[in-house]
Amino acid sequence: MTTLSSRPDESQARAAQDALPHVRRYLQEHPGEPTEVPVVIEDDREALVLPRVALELLAGVLAHMAAGRGVSIVPANAELTTQEAANLLNVSRPHLIGLLDAGEIEFRKVGTHRRVRADSLLDYMRGDDQRRREAADELAAMTRELGLD
């Protein structure tokens, strides 16, 4: 797992803020193509060629850094410890274990230790986000029906 778990310092956040509009503009001006993107390293003007998907991921990383948030990049097939998984969900380890035992998130046991696949954790996070959005929409509709808006 690649992590910038602590908040980026001021100069890192500022560099991310400066770079982000350029990356976003390039992606908007070249939708879907090309599949490979040349990136110039300023020091020696050497051009790297990156897959477009890597540049799209970089835009997301820069957005979080520009907002002063740390970032973790986890391969989809990575197996996480329960503490790593709890940290990514921003919940306590005992709460995560409850989710695992309830079958909410897939895991496997290695001896006595649980291992959580990152893709299973991400599926749970997407589903949880969807449930939260639906609950918020339902509350908003109820508020409108009651004339409280």
Question: Which of the four pLDDT bands, split at 50, 70 and 90, describes residue 2?
Answer: low
Residues above pLDDT 70, as percent of the chain = 95
Helix/strand/coil (H, E, C) string of 117-141? EHHHHHHHHHHHHHHHHHHHHHHHH
Q: Give the pair of three-digit tokens for residue 23.
A: 């990356």
68 and 8 in contact (C-beta within 8 Å)? Answer: yes
Residue 82 CA to residue 115 CA, distance in Å, equals: 7
pLDDT digits (tens, 9 = 90+) for 43-68: 777 778 888 888 899 999 999 999 99
pTM score above 0.95: no
CA 9 to chain centroid = 20
pLDDT, tens only, 61-96: 999 999 998 887 878 789 999 999 998 899 999 999
* Cβ-contact 116, 105 below 8 angstroms: yes
Per-residue pLDDT at 82: 96
